Structure 1
């Protein structure tokens, strides 16, 4: 009998230890209920928690999180069981897409991890893989350098002690993997240039990522740390942050006639009160017959719902830097913010890792927009108006005169080269898109040549 109880005790002890691995204790379902009840056991000591680092009442600390003078280090630690589930979920999401190049049917799931930065730990953080075609391509290539999204209060319902946990004032952050970018700079430089030109765009910084998956710690290489638009970009770059923020994706994101679909205008704010009247108005006006029957009325109506000037400014800068993976070629990679202060939908660029290169797939748009069809009415119909075309061409000139200046850009690229070289050369096989040190060197050299050639191209076009 003693042996029986000892055996039973050992079994129960092993079961309890297994549950604690992920801070979870599973109990039996109530009588008559076949739903599993999960009780969270929180073992964190929260000794690193301070209001300045973790609290929700602090303002976003850009000088620390987006430090421009050094390469930051972010460590992600995840249990072996969560890591295994994360890989299985990614495999399922990838396989759910119907054909090569097709969009993923859903985002991967969040899993619990801890994050360490500057010797400080953040607790029960949500981490998931992010991306669409780049995520799929990375997965299919066998390279493990995926992009990540971090959400610092994703698991606050399970762990009330971390309610509204922030990372120096930021709720979410993106770790972008610089997919197929030998220079490791394009994502960061693109966003920085848009902001320097007076457009709303995410703050960025360079960082390196290490992942401990419960058994080993792996260096994942150089990443671009990118601010989340629906977190702090709206709060800090607009005077009023209460408007609707959309992330269009799919045919409806083109605004072409016959494509309107609220399911493809993903609302990131005010979800409970959505009526989509703002994007519906833009769709209706851009495709209105007034465009040909009464052009002045059409322009007046368009300017009452859409920040036309801001769009033309973005179009000019985006075309100069040859960003092909965006509107005009692809129905994604931008946000629309319905600014309550002026009632206008404002264009916010997103995802710049495919910029600063020519001859990529369908290629970047020509300065004249001559190849753009009515499938992209926000470009086609605006540039067809002489007044708007003149504004656009003025912004082409202003961008190369004030922002995309060869001497300044070459200096920036050289500074970033010196900053990143050690970390780029240290990237490891299976966790890098750089196949030798010379790829990084040539990637930076290409950027330097690119800025000079594009300035000449703009000057030649505007003669």
Structure 2
């Protein structure tokens, strides 16, 4: 591994990048949320790959069953969920193995990051864009993916961040759902990834192309956990489970990988599905609360059901993380919110009709104590957070920020946009605002 020479301002690996500094590139710097996730402006990111690497990426995607780029299929705008589905659904649809990373050059604020790992990411959103031949597809960045091959980028970071996710606004004509839903969760007291808007330019080997407005999304890792929980020692999981039974393969560890210990998840699933639930519900609740942050999950469920989040637990066994907080037990963290704030709900606000294969919801709905708490959280969220005035302010701010780069001085155009036309973008804001009004009315009817 190449040696690093430190001084008070920079860390410059040998034969490496003159832009490398402690603050911008080094693992010695704390994550800089102000720079990476600004809330009052749209950052600009430029990415360049070689023609050979783009060709290799397309071949890899095809080889892994993800289809040939531009082979057929369309994106679906309007902000609605795709494919419908019912409450009795199961695991997430498989879209095959993740593509391999390719090395790209990344530029931001006059600085350059070299050999950054880049790969397309997602399931239905990626499928829709990739097969349609749309270059604005969701992707993931990993700053040190190629450090073994290129030691000069050892522990490379982007202002303290190791990995970042880039949402392309697929199926969302407003282009703000990923951003504002995470903000709303945090307003309600639910830890969620930080987000920010970016203008993205990508050179696929034949010149730089404007790929429109993306949402940069913080990865749920040690940095996010430390910033919002104050501790990062517990296990972080990305589950693909209905929580009926424990299967180790369905609880991917995102940290502490060398410790073969899933006892926290096992204990929670055991307590949740204990037959004592019907014979001694008070003891069942006590046992579950001792290992699982049930109160927090109920709050998340109330928020999620009120605002309507289509693509998550209750319909699909994915799009959440778990963190075993040392003081708060196993805690739910929402993820991937691009299909939130839509009219198509898989879980009714009343939780009626939830199938037995979603025990975390079904058992809460059927327990009078937990259900009363759920109703109280619905009321609190609806009355104090999800109001028309607060939501209109958030929606207006986000839309105003990105409009110049969607339908203004810079425009999103095919095949570098998921918008059918920019008129759909303009029409999306009133639809979001009306959604809040409709949900407020639904809550009033539910709580009568």
SS of aligned partner of 2:65:
helix
The match for 2:10 is none
Q: 1:153 aligns with which of 132, 135, 144?
A: 144
Q: Give TM-score, length-normalised by structure 1.
A: 0.86
The match for 1:263 is 249
The answer to whether the 8 A contact 2:16-2:152 is kept is: no
**2-side partners of 1:427 and 1:179: how far apart?**
13
Higher helix content, 1 or 2: 1
**1-side partners of 2:359 and 2:148: how far apart?**
44
The match for 2:51 is 80
Q: 1:254 aligns with which of 238, 242, 247?
A: 242
The match for 1:92 is 63
Deviation by residue 1:198-240 (Cα, 9 ceiling, x = unmatched): 1111000011111112221111111111000024211211222
Q: 1:399 aligns with which of 372, 378, 381?
A: 381
Deviation at 1:323, TM superposition (A): 0.4
The match for 2:313 is 327
Deviation by residue 1:152-198 (Cα, 9 ceiling, x = unmatched): 11111122222111111111111111111000010111111111111
Q: Give TM-score, length-normalised by structure 2.
A: 0.88
Indicate whether 1:347 and 2:329 are aligned. no
Change (3 A) 1:262 1:94: same
Match runs of 1:229-308 below 5 Å: 229-249=220-240, 253-256=241-244, 259-308=245-294
The answer to whether the 8 A contact 2:192-2:335 is kept is: yes
Larger radius of gyration: 1
The answer to whether the 8 A contact 1:172-1:231 is kept is: no
Deviation by residue 1:340-387 (Cα, 9 ceiling, x = unmatched): 234x1100000111111113xxx3321111110111000111221111
Deviation at 1:83, TM superposition (A): 1.4
Indicate whether 1:178 and 2:160 are aligned. no
Q: 1:448 aligns with which of 397, 412, 433?
A: 433
Deviates more, 1:103-112 or 1:312-321: 103-112
Deviation by residue 1:53-96 (Cα, 9 ceiling, x = unmatched): 11111111111110111111111111221111111112222348
The match for 2:217 is 226
Match runs of 1:17-166 below 5 Å: 45-95=16-66, 102-166=93-157
SS of aligned partner of 1:229:
coil
The answer to whether the 8 A contact 1:245-1:269 is kept is: yes
**2-side partners of 1:406 and 1:274: how far apart?**
47
**1-side partners of 2:55 and 2:108: how far apart?**
24
Q: How many pairs align?
A: 411
Question: Which consecutive residues of structure 2, in runs of 5 or more, have no partner in the other structure?
Answer: 1-12, 69-82, 84-91
How big is the alpha-carbon RMSD for the aligned residues of Structure 1 and Structure 2? 1.8
